[in-house]
Amino acid sequence: MRSKGISTTVSGHHGERAAADYLIKKGYRILEMNYRSSRLEIDIIAEDDERLLFVEVKSRTACPKNPGRFGRPGMAVTYKKRAHLVAAAQSYLRTHRPGKRVRLDVIEVYFKPTETGLPEIADIKHIENAFGAK
């Protein structure tokens, strides 16, 4: 579900940008956005002094306490999507920073419904270590 008048592509881009800004405020450095390895993609790759994060970003127009009929955004990360995220992360690690600890995260971005159709962030939820990788 998306804000009135805003495309999925636009809301996805705004969600990814909001998630990157959120990570920067938490002290992470953004290394890549929309990293591609053949047909696989990672929304955000970030790091701090100890870890390398591979982040999947999911956005919805809803309140996080009442996500509506589509559920929480993180629920849209299916088994197949997780497998693709892991494969893309492994591809990245073959050529970049192989010595850091790795974590796979999901960031949920919630938009407020607006009359203008322009995205406005209502909340961000960061699910660290979303798939149990260390």
What is the pLDDT confidence band of residue 120, given thresholds at 50, 70 and 90? confident
User: Residue 63, Cβ neighbours under 10 Å: how many?
Assistant: 13
Domain boundaries, the chain: 8-127
Could you tell me which residues come within 8 angstroms of residue 67 by beta carbon, excluding any fewer than 6 positions away? 60, 73
- In this prediction, residue 3 carries a pLDDT of 40
Per residue in 4-26, pLDDT (tens digit) is: 445 566 667 889 999 999 999 99
Higher pLDDT, 127 or 114: 127
CA distance 2 to 49: 36
Nearest to 16, CA basis, from 75, 78, 59: 59
Token pair 């974590």 is at which residue? 103
- In this prediction, residue 113 carries a pLDDT of 73
CA distance 44 to 60: 18
Token pair 């010595």 is at which residue? 99
- In this prediction, residue 29 carries a pLDDT of 96
Question: Contact 24/72 with Cβ under 8 angstroms?
Answer: no
DSSP strand pairing (101-112 vs 40-47): unpaired
The class of domain 8-127 in CATH terms is: alpha beta
CA distance 19 to 12: 10
* Mean pLDDT calculated for residue range 15-41: 95
Where do the H-state alpha helices sit in the chain?
8-25, 79-95
